[in-house]
């Protein structure tokens, strides 16, 4: 039977993720979390290394440029989407990070995108301390 279920909840993001959002909001900087044991850098940051299960406390600044790993165009509307369709989601592996992050791609059409191309973050001018402070990623030109 088709249907929808709404599950309202609060999510405690923890000290490390709070630091990530404060730096993004106040300084417009992107940071990842580095594992003290294996050195893996997670972006977005997480508190526990998925490989070593070690608590992570070190934040490292990332330049905001990276590689487009994959992408898709969204043409349907859902209440949790950050913008009206159509829009493009991509997984971006930032330089200096070992994991990819999901975010919107802007200033281009799907036909302009290629897996492996370089993209860079566009930081919102008005920031609120959430992931949408990264407005989107756009292709690097030149």
Per-residue pLDDT tens digits for 19-28: 999 999 999 9
Residue 137 pairs in a beta bridge with 105, 121
pLDDT confidence bin for 6, thresholds 50/70/90: confident
Mean model confidence pLDDT for the chain: 92
CA–CA separation, 33 vs 37, rounded Å?
12
Q: Per-residue pLDDT for 1 more than 70?
A: no
Q: How far is CA 37 from CA 20, 96, 116, in A?
A: 21, 17, 29
Give residue-wise pLDDT tens across range 58-108. Answer: 999 999 999 999 999 999 999 888 899 999 999 999 999 999 999 999 999
Angle at 33 between CA 29 and CA 34, to 5 degrees: 125
Q: What angle do CA 112, 120, 105 make, to 5 degrees?
A: 50
C-alpha to C-alpha distance for 10 and 13, rounded to whole angstroms: 9
- The residues spanned by each domain of the chain are 14-139
pLDDT in tens, 32-63: 999 999 999 999 898 899 999 999 999 999 99
Please report the DSSP string for 72-104 in residue order.
EEE-S--TT-SSPSSEEEEEEEETT-SS-EEEE
The pTM score is 0.87
């Amino acid at each position: 039977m088709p249907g929808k279920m709404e599950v309202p909840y609060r999510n405690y993001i923890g000290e490390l993720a709070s630091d990530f959002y404060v730096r993004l909001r106040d300084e417009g900087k992107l940071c990842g979390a580095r594992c003290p044991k294996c050195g893996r850098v997670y972006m977005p940051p997480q508190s526990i290394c998925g490989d070593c299960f070690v608590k992570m406390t070190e934040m490292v600044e990332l330049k905001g440029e990276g590689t487009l790993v994959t992408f898709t165009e969204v043409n349907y509307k859902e209440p949790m989407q950050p913008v009206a369709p159509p829009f493009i989601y991509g997984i971006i592996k930032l330089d200096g990070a070992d994991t990819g992050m999901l975010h919107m791609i802007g200033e281009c059409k799907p036909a302009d995108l290629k897996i492996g191309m370089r993209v860079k973050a566009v930081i919102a001018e008005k920031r609120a301390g959430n992931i949408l402070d990264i407005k989107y990623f756009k292709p690097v030109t030149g």
